[in-house]
Amino acid sequence: MLDVRGLKKVYEGSGRRVEAVRDLTFSVAAGELVCLVGPSGCGKTTLLRCVGGLLRPTAGEVLLAGRKVDGPPPGMAFVFQEYGRSLFPWMRVGENVELPLRRKGLGKARRRELVADALGSVGLADAAGAYPWQLSGGMQQRVAIARALAYEPEVLLMDEPFAAVDAQTRADLEDLVRRLWRERSMTILFVTHDIDEAVYLGERVVVLSASPTVVREQLKVDLPHGRDQVHTRVAPRFAELRTRVYEQIQAAKRGTERPVKSPLPRQG
């Protein structure tokens, strides 16, 4: 569904040349939930903006369903970390969700249906008439997710969406993403710096190196589909996986070139 090939991004300006992303290659299959995790400041956001067509890569390419991404494609929806700035404060919640649908040339009735359905899915059916700033941070991020759902994207890109909400809200939102992914069989690329979150959410975790970024390791998360905050997080397998990712990230921070060679036992 989504192929990233040899992606490279170099920022140039005022005599300085910063190589944010060196050479990234990975792919996301249709219906897969992949988490990208890496040390802070490792160019995750740059990567995701390149994937979403918001930034032009210096080299390499991004393919969405075989077509080259060249500007934001209609088949992708973006959920940003800064929900307060990503939702338009001058529009009510319903209007915020509806605005992107105008591009799709849908009739008014269909648009309204999609908005109601998306808001219902995130548990905010009653909030359509409120302004975003009247809601709590967690609710605002739900609205941003509803906007992405209503857009009916082929791929949903999420850029550290829960970094700015408190721990309990965060757990709720993680479960919401898992549920929506299973119910709607969406393809999701989820960027985070939180190792537990990556392992808990993902079907696969892509560990990135420090900047300039390359893929350090790809890890299949062989936890059961039905996960919950209480049991999954204390499962031995969860602990193994998170330790493995943790070691990789620590090594990445130290700048070790070779991947850590502690073998990951297959689940029996």
Partner 1 sequence: MRRVLLRLVFVFALPAVLVTVWWVASAGSEDVYWPPLATVLETFPDVWTGERWRGDVLPSVLRLAAGYALAAVVGVALGTLVGSYRRVRAVCEPALEFLRAVPPPVLVPVIMLFAGIGDTMKIVVIAAGCVWPVLLNTVEGVRAVDAVTAETARSYGVTGVAWLRHVVLPSASPQIFAGLRQALSIGIILMVISEMFAASNGLGFTIVQFQRSFAIPGMWTGILLLGLLGFVLSALFRLVERRALGWYHGLRAAARRPGSSS
Contact residues: partner 1, CB under 8 A: 49, 52-54, 72, 74, 76-78, 80, 82, 84-86, 88-91, 99-100, 102-103, 131, 133-134, 137, 147, 151, 164
Beta strands in the chain (DSSP E): 2-13, 16-28, 33-37, 59-64, 67-68, 76-79, 155-159, 187-192, 204-208, 213-220
Closest approach of partner 1 to the CB of residue 164, in Å: 5
By C-beta, is 90 or 226 nearer to partner 1?
90
Q: Residue 37, SS3?
A: strand
Packing angle, helices 137-150 and 167-184, rounded to 10 = 10
Amino acid found at 182:
R
The answer to whether residues 45 and 159 touch, using CB atoms and an 8 Å cutoff, is yes
Closest approach of partner 1 to the CB of residue 91, in Å: 7
Closest approach of partner 1 to the CB of residue 247, in Å: 32
By C-beta, is 117 or 240 nearer to partner 1?
117
Tokens matching residue 129: 């008439």
Closest approach of partner 1 to the CB of residue 134, in Å: 7
By C-beta, is 126 or 166 nearer to partner 1?
166
Closest approach of partner 1 to the CB of residue 82, in Å: 5
By C-beta, is 56 or 220 nearer to partner 1?
56
Give how far the C-alpha of residue 80 lies from the chain's centroid of Cα atoms, to the nearest Å.
9
Closest approach of partner 1 to the CB of residue 85, in Å: 4
Closest approach of partner 1 to the CB of residue 46, in Å: 13
DSSP state of 31: T
| Alpha-carbon span 64 to 198, nearest angstrom | 23
Q: Scan for tokens 């070790």, then name that residue.
A: 256
| Alpha-carbon span 198 to 209, nearest angstrom | 15
By C-beta, is 155 or 207 nearer to partner 1?
155
Closest approach of partner 1 to the CB of residue 40, in Å: 19
Q: Where are the alpha helices (DSSP H) in 151-268?
A: 167-184, 195-201, 229-232, 236-254
Q: Which of these, 166, 170, 58, 9, lies nearest to 158 by C-alpha position?
A: 170
By C-beta, is 128 or 245 nearer to partner 1?
128
By C-beta, is 73 or 120 nearer to partner 1?
73
Q: What is the CA radius of gyration of the chain?
A: 19
By C-beta, is 102 or 179 nearer to partner 1?
102
